[in-house]
Structure 1
């Protein structure tokens, strides 16, 4: 059995072990699902030792694709087992990018663009902004969203397929669950079959958010991972085909999924306002991600959050800090949202047409790490930011 397949088998056994003990799932999407279920590993330590041996073998073989994946698995599993690496080291090992952050000037520029987009709809910048936006976007129920998400995706699917060149089929099973976790919705799956879960404890929908959601979850994650599966089962690929949230492909997956409306429906004014606000707030979350891991106090971080986003609730701030500060999976995975969103938003607005075409087509053929994206667009911004000190604000400033 080749080393890639050994790693996949071990990761599937690790995933089964976590499922048996009620832990977090490991595999987010299996691009080459086996015919029969895999039995669980005996322990996390057994998995750690197997992965360590695989890393040594990959280094000896010069197998960079497998070594990169195993390194990420070891960093995450080590954290699950009690290690707490420094944030930048942890992110470079798992997400494949640094945590240098974005400059004050850049964040204020994004804030001004978001503020102007809101003002164009008669919405101010204050504690009630979130509620006013919710009304502007047109509230709908979770049941309505579940019934209509497929229709909304179908409207844009031909554009996404034309831009990416993918011919992969995909199906989606929708479930409504009640889970005490940070997420509002989640796509996972295997082969060409995806599962979309709505978490009624945290999810809320509007007409505008539904349009973004359909592109993000169905045409982003479900179709993209099905496309990877098509590649992974028809070509002799070097990459490990069991995808997880702590591998260095998440900046691609979350960034492009978030930015898709910039490429597909740029004339939708309300959706473009949603994009501006989302881009800005992701970078604010990145500031807080860095700050809580650098030892700044909860009070300092909360004050900064309210200064940057005056409509951010205490519940959201509290969850944001605990998720990014203490939970091994989220401490890694949630960094991919600001890192990837910023890169793909800039790709949509600054890159030339041939570059955009090359990136989008490659991005639906096989997974790309930040280093791969940088090769496709060398003039693009540094994923994870090009360097800025952590400077926290008080609620009297933006």
Structure 2
């Protein structure tokens, strides 16, 4: 099995080199076991697909699940377009079912109440007003604010997860026309954080959220997985089209509810983000089901009144037309809903989930096994 795992990793490294060379999206988001010479880029995608299909026959357990995700995503890059639920189950490991209107409305009411607690009224200016309450911060002051937040919050995260893994953080800036404001990748204990300046708006509360999500969430978590990767039975390459992403993005979004539950301003942001992710999930389903675009856009703008047409258009294109984001962006609502529920009512299971999440790249099935009473992941 180890040999099959290693062969799969070699194929993925070659595929990643091919995509990067041609200017495409990287296949590998975080290399948990770096080292060795730079891989020779694969000749083409079809050859990669054939080799992965061959290896799948000998793979078992988590390696086979990972190969299935790679084949589904690579098939989409080659032109396949399976139904959304089938595609998301193969790549993210959960269903793309969605949440009932009643549940989404319940989460909206929770967000409205959390906003009211910090003096923000629901409406077209709610997000802008919340940012003012969070404390607007000049970009030049953001690095010090983030470092201060990391220093303050890191002991609590390490205590909750049991992680003693070291990491090295570097920060870079970028100007990319994309949905993301922050992106974290890296190899081993080296963590690279990219700030997408056109999308970055810093606040003091946001610096704390950022520290928990990117640095102590993705960064420390990846370094912790690296520390246990040498003899791991799973593929030691994290990719956003693969089954660990629901866990990674879900916990990163919900960390403030575990670490700073009494911070009303930060809680308001998380409650609002949770609701907004559920709205995005509905749009994700609708645009992939063939619902007319103006109908989907109208519902999105009614549900989130501070969104403009430019924001809505970009989100629809990402979820409907981009093979990577059609899979990956489902991890955000699926993950945050499960981890918010864990923070609210996980009880004794919570500690085990948080510790295990920093020891192995849990899939949705792995999360459900640790908390069987939790909600169904993906709606």
The interval holding the TM-score normalised by the smaller chain is over 0.9
Residue matched to 2:36 = 35
- Number of the residue aligned with 1:214: 211
Q: Which runs of 5+ in 1 are unaligned?
A: 386-398
SS in 1 for 2:144: helix
Tell me which residue corresponds to 2:308.
313
**CA shift for structure 1 position 49:** 0.8
TM-superposition CA deviations, 1:208-260 (whole Å, max 9, x none): 11111110000000000111110102xx2110001100001111000000100
Task: State which of 74, 77, 92 in structure 1 corresponds to 2:71.
Answer: 74
- 1:258 is aligned to 253
| Deviation string, structure 1 residues 99-147 (Cα, Å, up to 9, x no partner) | 1111111111111111112222332221121221121111113332233
Aligned position for 2:344: 349
Q: 1:86 aligns to what?
A: 83
Q: Does residue 356 of structure 2 align to residue 359 of structure 1?
A: no
2:362 counterpart (368, 374, 378): 368
The equivalent position to 1:172 in structure 2, one of 163, 169, 174, is: 169
Deviation at residue 148 of structure 1 after TM alignment = 2.7
1:151 CA drift (Å): 2.0
Partner of 1:201: 198
Q: Distance in 2 between matches of 1:369 and 1:154?
A: 30
Aligned-partner SS, 2:74: helix
Deviations along 1:152-201, one digit per CA (max 9) or x if unpaired, are 11211111111111111011110011112221110000000010000012
| 1:388 aligned partner | none
Q: Which moved more, 1:196-205 or 1:67-76?
A: 196-205
What RMSD over aligned residues (CA atoms) do the two structures have, in Å?
Answer: 1.0
Please state whether the residue corresponding to 1:175 is helix, strand or coil: strand
Q: How does 1:1-398 map to 2 (within 5 A)?
A: 2-58=3-59, 63-233=60-230, 236-352=231-347, 354-385=348-379
Q: SS of the residue aligned with 1:341?
A: helix
Tell me the secondary structure at the aligned position of residue 180 of structure 2.
coil
Q: Is the 8 A contact 2:181 2:197 kept in 1?
A: yes
Q: Aligned pairs, how many?
A: 378
SS in structure 2 of the partner of residue 189 of structure 1: strand
- Note if contact 2:184-2:219 (Cα within 8 Å) is conserved in structure 1: yes
How high is the TM-score relative to the length of structure 1?
0.93
> C-alpha deviations, 1:281-326, integer Å up to 9, x for none?
0111101010100111111111111121111222211111000001
